[in-house]
Amino acid sequence: MKKSIAILSFVALVVVAYSCKKNGSTPAKTAYLDLPATPYPYFDSFNVNMNRMATLGRVLFYDGHLSLNNTISCASCHKQALGFADNAALSAGFEGKLTKRNTPTIADVRMKQTFFWDGRENNIENLTIRPITSHVEMGISDPTTLPQKLAALPYYSSLFADAFGDGEITTERISTAVAAFMNAISSGQSRLDMFQSGNTGALTAQELQGKSLFDTKYDCGSCHNGGGVIVFGGYGGGRGSIFLDIGLENTYNDKGHGVITGRAADNGTFTVPNLHNVALTAPYMHDGRYKTLSEVIDHYSHGIIKTPNLDPILTDGAGHARRMNITDEEKQAIIAFLNSLTDHHLITDPKFSNPFKSR
- Does 139 participate in binding ligand HEC (rule CB under 6 A)? no
Question: How many angstroms separate the CA atoms of 183 and 15, rounded?
Answer: 36
Q: What are all long-range contacts of 253-258, with beta carbons under 8 Å and residues at least 24 apart?
A: 253/287, 254/100, 254/101, 254/286, 254/287, 256/117, 256/118, 256/286, 257/118, 257/119
User: In the chain, what is the straight-line distance between the N-terminal and C-terminal CA atoms, in Å?
Assistant: 41
For residue 162, count other CB atoms closer than 10 A to its CB.
23
Window contacting ligand HEC (CB under 6 A); options: 38-46, 99-107, 151-159, 197-205:
99-107
Among residues 35, 72, 89, 169, the one that binds ligand HEC under rule CB under 6 A: 72
Q: In angstroms, what is the minimal distance from the CB of 93 to ligand HEC?
A: 4
What Rg value do the Cα atoms of the chain yield, rounded?
A: 24
Q: Which string of x and - marks every residue 265-284 that binds ligand HEC (by CB under 6 A)?
A: -----x-xx-x--x--x--x
- Does 244 participate in binding ligand HEC (rule CB under 6 A)? yes
Q: In angstroms, what is the minimal distance from the CB of 344 to ligand HEC?
A: 18
- Of 52 and 78, which has the nearer Cβ to ligand HEC? 78
- Does 137 participate in binding ligand HEC (rule CB under 6 A)? yes
Q: What are all long-range contacts of 293-298, with beta carbons under 8 Å and residues at least 24 apart?
A: 293/335, 293/338, 294/331, 294/335, 297/326, 297/331, 297/334, 297/335, 298/331
Q: In angstroms, what is the minimal distance from the CB of 195 to ligand HEC?
A: 17
Question: How many angstroms separate the CA atoms of 159 and 150, rounded?
Answer: 11
Q: Which string of x and - marks every residue 200-229 that binds ligand HEC (by CB under 6 A)?
A: --------------x---xxx-xxx-----
Asked if residue 321 lies in contact with residue 162, where contact means CB atoms within 8 angstroms, the answer is no
Q: In angstroms, what is the minimal distance from the CB of 3 to ligand HEC?
A: 52
- Does 184 participate in binding ligand HEC (rule CB under 6 A)? no
- Does 342 participate in binding ligand HEC (rule CB under 6 A)? no
Asked if residue 102 lies in contact with residue 254, where contact means CB atoms within 8 angstroms, the answer is no
Using CB under 6 A as the binding criterion, the count of chain residues that bind ligand HEC stands at 55
Q: What angle do CA 226, 229, 235 make, to 5 degrees?
A: 5
Among residues 35, 53, 59, 127, the one that binds ligand HEC under rule CB under 6 A: 127
- Of 72 and 336, which has the nearer Cβ to ligand HEC? 72
Cα separation values, 302 from 198, 252, 268, 299, 317, Å: 35, 19, 19, 6, 16
- Does 174 participate in binding ligand HEC (rule CB under 6 A)? no
Q: In angstroms, what is the minimal distance from the CB of 23 to ligand HEC?
A: 28
- Of 24 and 173, which has the nearer Cβ to ligand HEC? 173
Question: How many angstroms separate the CA atoms of 142 and 337, rounded?
Answer: 45
- Does 169 participate in binding ligand HEC (rule CB under 6 A)? no
- Does 138 participate in binding ligand HEC (rule CB under 6 A)? yes
Question: How many angstroms separate the CA atoms of 50 and 162, rounded?
Answer: 10
- Does 354 participate in binding ligand HEC (rule CB under 6 A)? no
Question: How many angstroms separate the CA atoms of 36 and 27, rounded?
Answer: 13
- Does 311 participate in binding ligand HEC (rule CB under 6 A)? yes
Residues within the interface to ligand HEC (CB under 6 A):
66, 72, 74, 76-78, 91, 93, 99, 101, 103-104, 106, 109, 112, 115-118, 127-128, 131-132, 137-138, 178, 182, 214, 218-220, 222-224, 239, 244, 246, 248, 270, 272-273, 275, 278, 281, 284-286, 293, 296-297, 300, 311, 313-314, 334
